[in-house]
């Protein structure tokens, strides 16, 4: 029996992309390219979906690769009818915002992966744009693969797989492997860039007397969490592709998928370590700010204490009493000043010795 996507809980399911009611948008508008692969090579030229299927039928081998960009429901429905795609796949392909997953519908596989892109924090105005994510969906049958991208970039694989003809000859799943391999490689690149930023933050936090921006730590914490949510669920999908569905995925392709799975686990560990390091940096920065505030309060208290002594002496001799022996003494004023200075000097020396100043 076909698996059914997990329903949305606690919130409404997002509506499919709006489309003009008149005039109707042709399905061809959503097609970025339609190519035919035979014996691992891309045949020259572009095809319509109908002509591509006819060409594969004439050769008796090969497969069709159709690339779609954010199709409307009517466009996706028309293309699905040509390729015999399950209706539940159509719904997910139009909705987007899916978690990375692998689902099987009879003899068709539906894979969702999220792309991750990194922009330096000095290049963006909105700090939430440092890490942006997109979505790539792959629908695979025996003689076709349809890729649907939402907010993600996908290179023309007709040129990137020229050196891997033997693998492409194995069918549509080989193309899915290539896409997943490129995406996981991009995960690794982004992880390295984030690692440099986290190292820089650590240096700022643990360098004495160096000012640091706590907000920047929270910003990267949020971005790392977004990347974590985008890539973590893909591990389960890759693991299922390696261990399950052996009637649809050949042994050779599973070996290559296992390599992608291993790399994805490494990136997951890196992102998890970034999350833990940033949490530690937040704790360290809070502790450092608290220590600095305590030091400032001690300094302020020391200064106030130093000024309290002369204030006390001045307050005593500022009382309007006639019977005070020092009031009529010729050296009363100089002596009061000397006492004030001596007390302040003694307090200053004591505070310095105890590192309050």
**Strand 131-140 relative to strand 108-118: parallel, antiparallel, unpaired?**
antiparallel
**Strand 63-69 relative to strand 144-150: parallel, antiparallel, unpaired?**
parallel
Rounded to a whole number, what is the distance in angstroms from the first to the last CA of the chain? 76
- Could you tell me if 183 and 155 are in contact, meaning their C-beta atoms sit under 8 angstroms apart? no
pLDDT of residue 22: 47
Cα distances (Å, whole numbers) of residue 314 to 293, 294, 320: 31, 30, 12
205 contact partners, CB below 8 Å, separation of at least 6? 212, 217, 281, 284, 285, 288
- Could you tell me if 234 and 114 are in contact, meaning their C-beta atoms sit under 8 angstroms apart? yes
pLDDT in tens, 109-136: 999 999 998 876 555 555 556 888 899 9
Cα distances (Å, whole numbers) of residue 173 to 120, 162, 273: 34, 16, 32
pLDDT in tens, 178-211: 999 999 999 999 999 888 888 888 888 887 777 7
* Nearest one of 346, 191, 173 to 264, comparing CA atoms: 191
Cα distances (Å, whole numbers) of residue 350 to 44, 150, 299, 334: 88, 68, 13, 24
Enumerate the β-bridge partners of residue 139: 110, 146
pLDDT in tens, 213-253: 778 888 888 888 889 999 999 999 999 999 989 889 999 99
Query: What pTM did the predictor assign?
Result: 0.75
For residue 14, pLDDT over 70 is answered with: no
Please give the Cα distance from 136 to 129 (Å, whole number).
19
């Amino acid at each position: 029996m076909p698996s059914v996507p997990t329903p949305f809980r606690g919130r409404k399911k997002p509506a499919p992309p709006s489309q003009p009611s008149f005039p109707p948008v042709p399905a061809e508008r959503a097609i970025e390219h339609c190519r035919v692969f035979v014996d691992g090579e891309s045949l020259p030229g572009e095809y319509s979906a109908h002509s591509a299927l006819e060409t594969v039928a004439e050769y008796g081998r090969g497969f069709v690769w159709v690339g779609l960009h954010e199709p409307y429901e009517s466009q996706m429905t028309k293309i699905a009818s040509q390729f015999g795609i399950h209706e539940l796949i159509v719904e997910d392909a139009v909705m987007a915002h899916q978690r990375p997953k692998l689902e099987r519908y009879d003899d068709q596989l539906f894979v969702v992966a999220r792309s991750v892109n990194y922009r330096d924090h000095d290049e963006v105005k909105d700090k939430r744009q440092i890490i942006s994510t997109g979505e790539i969906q792959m629908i695979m049958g025996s003689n076709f693969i349809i890729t649907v991208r939402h907010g993600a970039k996908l290179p023309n694989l007709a040129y990137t797989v020229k050196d891997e003809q033997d693998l492409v000859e194995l069918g549509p799943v080989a193309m899915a492997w290539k896409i997943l391999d490129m995406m996981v490689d991009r995960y690794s690149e982004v992880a390295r860039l984030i690692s440099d930023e986290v190292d820089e933050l650590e240096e700022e936090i643990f360098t004495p007397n160096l000012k640091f921006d706590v907000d920047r730590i929270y910003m990267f914490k949020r971005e790392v969490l977004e990347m974590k949510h985008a890539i973590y669920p893909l591990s389960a999908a890759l693991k299922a592709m390696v261990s399950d569905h052996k009637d649809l995925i050949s042994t050779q392709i599973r070996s290559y998928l296992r390599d992608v799975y291993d790399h994805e686990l490494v990136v997951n560990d890196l992102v998890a370590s970034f999350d833990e390091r940033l949490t530690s940096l937040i704790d360290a920065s809070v502790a450092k700010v608290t220590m600095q505030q305590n030091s400032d309060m001690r300094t302020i208290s020391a200064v106030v204490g130093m000024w309290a002594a002369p204030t006390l002496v001045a307050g005593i001799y500022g009382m309007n009493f006639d019977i005070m022996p020092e009031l009529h003494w010729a050296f009363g004023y100089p002596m009061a000043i000397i006492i004030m200075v001596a007390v302040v000097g003694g307090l200053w020396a004591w505070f310095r010795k105890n590192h309050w100043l």
